[in-house]
């Protein structure tokens, strides 16, 4: 179970992630890949309208398809207790009463589900189901819908708008961002297997097995501990795996109905409607400064789209409160219901959206002031204290990030005058922007089992979605205990392992590092106690004094007091040792504010004939505290930049205004950055430990890498062309207009 085989290492295999061999050989099992006896397949049929009511369903054709076991619709569904009433539905926090309503809220909403012996039969049968509807007019165009939705105060106002009404320098602009879809490469999938009337095994693509347990328990009203969830390998998430979606609930319903294990994997097109997205956003930023570039105040307004059946608000204006010193700050937000699926957190949620507007507005101000945008930012950073709650930052190196990044890209080459660098049809420009994210930490537990030969398995329920959590756990365990890495195995992503929260919000590493540190101490203490039966020098040994090796324990104070593991086992009559420990944030959270940050620098080429934008260099300097594992950490950041390039230049969902359907909802129609769209990305770290965040000093990096990337690109395009483009994505048509 989730045991990553490290034995190849001994055979002289290259160093890599703990789960690396499983990934490069195809042996690692993702949700849809478990072999379960007697399994059948479920496929959704989606609504062909975006708003209205189902009037009739014609199933006869579909029923004739060979191998069809059942077809579930709202008319014949096995009743799900969590969907029995409005109140219950609210409690489940699931949003959509799947197959428990005749209402259609968005196009492609699952309105029927075929269960059949094979995927081919289920897919064919689903295509034969016909519906008639009473159709309403859908609202899907965010840009058209948002002006009529009023704004509401968001958080407390700092100072007042009046205080800077006479600011000599003002930028007042509006910014738009199209909706983006996470599109992890693995499509969301679930295998559901009822092993008894109230016992369920799930193989699910998720960023948090405990969240799946909790949600499914609520919806089906069975005890949480009766649900076993496997999510050992997760093919990306970027936020889409932080919720349970219809594939999970659908598979469980289907398995109950046909009394067989059921696999349900969404199609790529369904992924666009059924697993969340970063909602479209509109923002207005009014920024005031004095003539020397000192910021006087900011007024930030933002709206984002949501579904008609579930409110979802992005924290668009939160980042405005953290990065710079604004004595006066007012934020307003609202949400705009649309006939689309419900959006959800997507990498750098809220901050990524907010940073686009704020970082572009600051850039606009820099040109207005004729001041270097790096210098302008350095002048206004809030380095020592969180400007919102006035707590001192535990550590904040955003200034070092921007200074180092400027050096790396050779910022001197940039011309303050836009459009000054030209090569044939290409215009060249440089851009900068920064990102910040609160360095969170949650509660987490971990366990260690030590076998006779000294092999240790470090376990937690947390998933590794590609962030390198497992590898980091191995590194930390090695650091904390001294045990060689090839003796440390990792088990992850299974609900019976020690509880931990979801891998999300960049808290995974931070939370788990505390748990690993605690469990390593527990193991050392336990070993010292056992060793004391052999050697009295261990009697009052503290965990910090105990060192492990492949063969035994010794004391830091006196290496000669070695006790072999063999002796420990024998003397204490043991077969193995198991310890468990938990940890979480403490009083430090009352005293300090925590953040991680990035500075992004890009050099772009813009073709004046075709409008093509080529990112020639992309540099990111990040403050993520101690870097526990450099390669995966750099990989996280460069991957985030690839995401940022997509956000800036290509990613957008189009919805057809009349039909309410998404246009181009596949990987040919929806572009994100391919290999050739990204340069070799240059990443550097400040790599200084944060003294208070957690025992490892590491701050999460998953989100902050993408925050600030898109505005850096937009700012570079302005520097290259003199065109200020405030509407993402910046596609060639916009560049050419």
Partner 1 sequence: MNGKNYYSRRFFLKTSGALAALAAIPATVKSFYMDAKRLIIPPRQKQPLIVKVNKQTHKLDVDTRTTLLDLLREDLHLTGTKKGCDHGQCGACTVHVNGERVLSCLTLAATLPGKEVTTIEGLADGDQLHPMQAAFLECDGFQCGYCTPGQIMSAVACVKEGHTKSVAEIKEFMSGNLCRCGAYNGIVASIQKVAK
End-to-end CA distance of the chain: 56
Compute the least distance from the CB of residue 501 to partner 1, in Å.
19
Residues numbered 16 to 35 that lie near ligand FES (CB under 6 A) are none
Residue 159 sits in the site that holds partner 1 (CB under 8 A): no
CA-to-CA distance for 267 and 255, rounded, in angstroms? Answer: 19
Residues numbered 274 to 303 that lie near ligand FES (CB under 6 A) are none
Q: What pairs with residue 68 in β-bridges?
A: 116
User: Measured at CB, which residue is nearest to ligand FES?
Assistant: 185
Q: Which is nearer to partner 1, 233 or 569 (CB)?
A: 233
Structure tokens at 499: 């509880």
Residues numbered 457 to 486 that lie near ligand FES (CB under 6 A) are 466
Stretch that binds partner 1, among 297-305, 361-369, 435-443, 672-680 (CB under 8 A): 672-680
203 touches 173 (CB < 8 A): no
CA-to-CA distance for 171 and 365, rounded, in angstroms? Answer: 6
List Cβ neighbours of 417 (8 Å cut-off, separation of 6 or more): none
Residue 676 phi, psi dihedral angles, 5° rounding? -75, -15
CA-to-CA distance for 206 and 219, rounded, in angstroms? Answer: 17
Query: How many other C-beta atoms can be found within 10 angstroms of the C-beta atom of residue 130?
Result: 14
CA-to-CA distance for 483 and 475, rounded, in angstroms? Answer: 10
Q: Which is nearer to ligand FES, 569 or 672 (CB)?
A: 672
221 binds, among partner 1, ligand FES, none (CB under 5 to 8 A by kind): none
Interface with partner 1 (CB under 8 A), residue from 73, 206, 320, 638 = 638
Q: Which is nearer to partner 1, 10 or 196 (CB)?
A: 10
CA-to-CA distance for 454 and 481, rounded, in angstroms? Answer: 12
Closest CA to 325 of 251, 265, 381, 267: 381
Query: How many other C-beta atoms can be found within 10 angstroms of the C-beta atom of residue 489?
Result: 24
Binding mask of the shown chain, residues 180 to 219, with x at each position contacting partner 1 by CB under 8 A: --xxxxxx--------------------------------
Binding mask of the shown chain, residues 232 to 271, with x at each position contacting partner 1 by CB under 8 A: -xxxxxx--------------------------x-xx---
Compute the least distance from the CB of residue 52 to partner 1, in Å.
21
Compute the least distance from the CB of residue 708 to partner 1, in Å.
16
Residue 75 sits in the site that holds ligand FES (CB under 6 A): no
241 binds, among ligand FES, partner 1, none (CB under 5 to 8 A by kind): none
Compute the least distance from the CB of residue 635 to ligand FES, in Å.
9
Compute the least distance from the CB of residue 191 to partner 1, in Å.
12
Closest CA to 521 of 583, 475, 474: 583
Interface with partner 1 (CB under 8 A), residue from 1, 53, 55, 66 = 66
Residue 641 sits in the site that holds partner 1 (CB under 8 A): yes
Interface with ligand FES (CB under 6 A), residue from 155, 236, 664, 689 = 236
Interface with partner 1 (CB under 8 A), residue from 79, 196, 587, 676 = 676
Interface with partner 1 (CB under 8 A), residue from 30, 411, 426, 562 = 30
CA-to-CA distance for 362 and 371, rounded, in angstroms? Answer: 11
Q: In what order do the strands lie in the sheet with 613-623?
A: 421-423, 426-438, 595-607, 613-623, 682-685
Q: Which is nearer to partner 1, 4 or 94 (CB)?
A: 4
Q: Which is nearer to ligand FES, 154 or 463 (CB)?
A: 463
CA-to-CA distance for 487 and 550, rounded, in angstroms? Answer: 7
377 binds, among ligand FES, partner 1, none (CB under 5 to 8 A by kind): none
CA-to-CA distance for 256 and 78, rounded, in angstroms? Answer: 8
Residues numbered 169 to 208 that lie near ligand FES (CB under 6 A) are 185
CA-to-CA distance for 429 and 422, rounded, in angstroms? Answer: 9
Compute the least distance from the CB of residue 237 to ligand FES, in Å.
10
CA-to-CA distance for 221 and 229, rounded, in angstroms? Answer: 16
Compute the least distance from the CB of residue 247 to ligand FES, in Å.
17
Query: DSSP of 527-555, one letter per residue?
Result: HHHHHHTT-GGGTT--GGGEEE-SSEEEE
Binding mask of the shown chain, residues 2 to 21, with x at each position contacting partner 1 by CB under 8 A: ------x--x-xxxxx-xxx
Stretch that binds partner 1, among 406-414, 431-439, 460-468, 519-527 (CB under 8 A): 460-468
Interface with partner 1 (CB under 8 A), residue from 3, 119, 145, 258 = 119
25 binds, among ligand FES, partner 1, none (CB under 5 to 8 A by kind): partner 1
Query: DSSP of 657-677, one letter per residue?
Result: TTT-PEET-STTTS----GGG
Compute the least distance from the CB of residue 182 to ligand FES, in Å.
11
DSSP state of 366: H
Interface with partner 1 (CB under 8 A), residue from 38, 56, 60, 575 = 60
522 binds, among partner 1, ligand FES, none (CB under 5 to 8 A by kind): none
DSSP state of 404: H
CA-to-CA distance for 622 and 402, rounded, in angstroms? Answer: 9
Residue 602 sits in the site that holds partner 1 (CB under 8 A): no
CA-to-CA distance for 122 and 431, rounded, in angstroms? Answer: 51
**What interhelical angle do 508-532 and 469-481 show, nearest 10?**
30
Structure tokens at 614: 């080529």
Interface with partner 1 (CB under 8 A), residue from 6, 47, 73, 121 = 121
Per rule CB under 8 A, count of chain residues that contact partner 1: 76
Compute the least distance from the CB of residue 667 to ligand FES, in Å.
7
List Cβ neighbours of 17 (8 Å cut-off, separation of 6 or more): 23, 468, 470, 471, 632
Q: Given the rule CB under 6 A, which residues bind ligand FES?
A: 185, 236, 466
């Amino acid at each position: 179970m989730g045991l990553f085989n490290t034995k190849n290492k001994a055979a002289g295999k290259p160093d890599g992630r703990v789960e690396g061999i499983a990934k490069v050989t195809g042996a690692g099992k993702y949700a849809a890949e478990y072999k379960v006896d007697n399994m059948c397949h479920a496929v959704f049929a989606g609504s062909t309208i975006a708003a209205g009511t189902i009037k009739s369903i014609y199933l006869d054709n579909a029923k004739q398809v060979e191998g069809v076991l059942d077809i579930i619709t709202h008319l014949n569904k096995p009743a799900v207790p969590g969907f029995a009433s409005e109140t219950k539905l609210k409690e489940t926090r699931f949003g959509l009463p799947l197959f428990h309503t005749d209402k259609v809220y968005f196009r492609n909403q699952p309105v029927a589900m075929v269960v059949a012996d094979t995927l081919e039969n289920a897919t064919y049968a689903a295509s034969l189901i016909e519906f008639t509807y009473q159709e309403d007019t859908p609202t899907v165009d965010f840009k058209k819908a948002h002006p009529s939705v009023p704004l509401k105060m968001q958080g407390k106002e700092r100072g007042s708008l009046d205080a800077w009404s006479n600011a000599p320098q003002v930028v007042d602009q509006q910014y738009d961002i199209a909706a983006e879809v996470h599109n992890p490469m693995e499509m969301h999938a679930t295998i559901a297997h009822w092993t008894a009337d109230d016992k369920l095994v799930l193989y699910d693509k998720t960023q948090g097995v405990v969240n799946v347990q909790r949600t499914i328990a609520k919806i089906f009203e069975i005890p949480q501990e009766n649900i076993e969830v496997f999510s050992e390998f997760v093919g990306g998430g970027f936020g889409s795996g932080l919720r349970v979606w219809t594939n999970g609930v659908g598979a469980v319903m289907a398995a109950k109905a046909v009394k067989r294990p059921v696999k349900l994997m969404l199609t790529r097109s369904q992924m666009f409607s059924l697993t969340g997205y970063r909602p479209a956003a509109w923002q207005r930023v009014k920024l005031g400064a004095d003539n020397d570039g000192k910021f006087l105040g900011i007024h930030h307004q933002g709206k984002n789209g949501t579904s008609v059946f579930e409110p979802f608000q992005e924290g668009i204006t939160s980042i405005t409160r953290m990065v710079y010193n604004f004595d006066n700050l007012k934020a307003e937000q609202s949400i705009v219901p649309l006939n689309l699926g419900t959006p959800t957190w997507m990498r750098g949620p809220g901050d990524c959206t907010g940073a686009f507007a704020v970082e572009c507005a600051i850039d606009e101000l820099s040109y207005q002031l004729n001041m270097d945008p790096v210098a302008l930012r350095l002048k206004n950073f809030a380095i020592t204290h969180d400007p919102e709650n006035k707590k001192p930052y535990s550590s904040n190196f955003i200034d070092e990030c921007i200074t180092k990044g400027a050096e790396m890209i050779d910022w001197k080459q940039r011309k303050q005058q836009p459009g000054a660098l030209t090569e044939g049809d290409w215009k060249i420009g440089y851009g900068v922007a920064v990102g910040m994210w609160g360095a969170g930490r949650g509660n987490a537990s971990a366990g260690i089992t030590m076998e006779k030969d000294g092999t240790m398995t470090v376990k937690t329920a947390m998933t590794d979605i590609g962030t390198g959590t497992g590898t980091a756990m191995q590194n930390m365990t090695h650091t904390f205990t001294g045990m060689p890495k090839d003796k440390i195995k990792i088990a992850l992503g299974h609900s019976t392992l020690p509880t931990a929260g979801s891998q999300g919000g960049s808290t995974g590493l931070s939370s788990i590092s505390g748990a690993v540190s605690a469990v390593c101490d527990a193991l050392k203490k336990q070993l010292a106690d056992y060793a004391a039966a052999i050697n009295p020098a261990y009697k009052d040994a503290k965990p910090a004094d105990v060192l492990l090796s492949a063969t035994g324990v010794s004391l830091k104070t006196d290496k000669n007091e070695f006790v072999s593991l063999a002796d420990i086992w024998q003397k204490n009559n043991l077969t193995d040792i198991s310890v468990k420990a938990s940890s979480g944030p403490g009083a430090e959270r009352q005293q300090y504010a925590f953040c991680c940050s990035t500075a992004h620098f890009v050099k772009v080429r813009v073709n004046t004939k075709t409008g093509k934008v080529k990112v020639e260099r992309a540099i990111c300097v990040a403050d993520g505290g101690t870097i526990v594992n450099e390669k995966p950490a750099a990989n996280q950041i460069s991957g985030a930049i690839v995401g940022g390039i997509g956000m800036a230049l290509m990613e957008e969902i189009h919805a057809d205004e009349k039909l309410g359907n998404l246009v181009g909802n596949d990987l040919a129609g929806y572009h994100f950055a391919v290999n050739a769209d990204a340069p070799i990305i240059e990443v550097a770290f400040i790599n200084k430990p944060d003294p208070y965040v957690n025992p490892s000093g590491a701050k999460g990096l998953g989100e902050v890498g993408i925050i600030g990337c898109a505005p850096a690109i937009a700012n570079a395009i302005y520097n290259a062309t003199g065109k200020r483009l405030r509407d993402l994505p910046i596609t060639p048509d916009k560049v050419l207009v």
